[in-house]
Amino acid sequence: MNFILDAVIVLGSIALIAAVVLFVVSRKFAVAEDPRLEQVQEMLPGANCGGCGFPGCSGLASALVQGADSGSIDGLNCPVGGSATMGRVAEFLGMSMAASKPMVAVVRCNGSCDNRPRVAQYDGLKTCTAMHMAGAGETACGYGCLGCGDCVAACAFDAIHINADTLLPEVMDDRCTSCGACVKACPRNIIELRVKGPRNRRVYVSCVNKDKGAVARKACQVACIGCGKCEKACAFDAISIAANLSYIDYDKCRLCTKCVDACPTSAIVKVNFPVRKPQAPKVAEATEANVATKMTGGASVDNVDVKKKEVNA
């Protein structure tokens, strides 16, 4: 029994000493937490999506508080909360912040089953990453969408789904928070965050194929062939061509859609634009002109009026 009692006393003493040491160390090396940190974090949506570039909302809150202390929070943004959330945070921290343009995820591939026929069958792990590592996929295009849905699995807001007919992902604009999770999940960098645009209208090149024109067109009917017609049609210097691929700068684009009409392969698409009404031929004006000519015996109306005036005189 004495051994047991001695062991209890020794262990208890060690625990007591360790507790005292931990208490002293915690007091001596304690770091005072800024009370604003918790308040800013409560203002954020709490999605912890990482779209801001930090590991969760707590990381962004810490960066915002530190930025306010240094005098600027420019470059810090919560894509989920948007301008409204960032405005409240900036007001709370006593800072001014420029309003950011709302963004949305865009799938830059239009290689549906009709436009991009299958030439092989993949039998393996059904993820885009695995299929991409295995080769070009089931089509001849080594740049296009693989359709396994890695972007769907990465989205925490149920804003992207695979279309059963085209086997391509489609983004729901009203649900997309532009967090960028789908952009990071795509192994072929097909998905891009672009400005929503006025009235949610956008114009972009729905292709990322960098092969030469003939090779790209053979793999997909709506591939960009780098012909440069869109670049020539643009009056705002918004289109550039690099590596056989056109790209539209959304900061320069004025949504005139001339590039859409100029594209010979329909690789450039426009979203949420009203459907143009077909212009009726000017038949009425031509008919009136014909009738006037017949009545005057082939002479112009002005000549007939002059002759009438001469007779009356």
CA dihedral of residues 276, 278, 280, 281 (deg, nearest 10) = 110
Residue 234 among known ligand-binding residues: no
Length of the chain: 313
Please identify which residue in the block is written with the tokens 């304690």.
30
Residue 230 among known ligand-binding residues: no
Residue 155 among known ligand-binding residues: yes
202: left (phi over 0), alpha (psi -120 to 50) or beta: beta
Please identify which residue in the block is written with the tokens 């804003």.
159
Residue 253 among known ligand-binding residues: no
Residue 145 among known ligand-binding residues: yes
Residue 182 among known ligand-binding residues: yes
Q: Where are the alpha helices (DSSP H) in the chain?
A: 2-28, 35-43, 57-70, 82-93, 128-134, 150-154, 181-185, 213-219, 229-233, 258-262, 283-295, 301-312
Residue 256 among known ligand-binding residues: no
Binding site residue list for [4Fe-4S] cluster: 49, 52, 57, 78, 141, 145, 148, 151, 155, 176, 179, 182, 186
Write out the binding residues.
49, 52, 57, 78, 141, 145, 148, 151, 155, 176, 179, 182, 186
